[in-house]
Amino acid sequence: MKQANLEELLRDITLSAIAKNANGEEDVSHMLFEIDAAVKSRRTVDCVQFEEAWKDVVEGSSQPFLFINFKLASEVCAAAYDEGKEVNELTWNLALPFINGIDADRLPESGFDWLDQGEVHIAHESPQLFECLMEIIQLDGQ
């Protein structure tokens, strides 16, 4: 498995889920409100489930970040299990610069610009995970 491919896949599906969760609204404050609601209800959007969110400072940075934890939707886990694979332990975080901690001259123009600054951190992985997810996502799309 190529770690970069898994991070890229998770980043793509996560950013897409956040954008859909905000109903295409580009305003950062609206996105934050919708993220909060999704976390509190553990909302599932497409193939990801919102789990929790918190603010923290990353070592070596004075900038606070918003961390959002995700898991795969139960339907994806069930489809993988039907194929003889377990993906229920996969969790990842999206780390975004906390909007209130960004200098005024560096504020993103839209919520989508803000999301582009996000980085994925995988909490649990297995060697076959990327290939498995690609198979399941293709099965789901058929």
> Cβ neighbours of residue 49 under 8 Å, at least 6 residues apart?
42, 43, 70, 71, 72, 73, 74
pLDDT at position 53 is: 96
The burial of 62, by beta-carbon neighbours within 10 Å (0-12 exposed, 13-18 middle, 19 or more buried), is given as exposed
Contact 110/26 with Cβ under 8 angstroms?
A: yes
Residues of the chain above pLDDT 90, percent: 46
Sketch the domain layout of the chain as residue ranges: 3-72+91-126
pLDDT at position 133 is: 79
pLDDT at position 98 is: 85
Question: 22-76, pLDDT tens digit by residue?
Answer: 998 888 889 999 999 999 999 999 999 999 999 998 788 788 899 999 999 999 9
pLDDT confidence of 130, banded at 50, 70, 90? Answer: confident
Enter the pTM of the model. Answer: 0.85
Question: 107-122, pLDDT tens digit by residue?
Answer: 788 888 889 989 999 9
Contact 93/121 with Cβ under 8 angstroms?
A: yes
Give the residue, 20 or 105, on which the prediction is more confident: 20
Q: Average of pLDDT values for 66-95?
A: 91
Contact 48/14 with Cβ under 8 angstroms?
A: yes
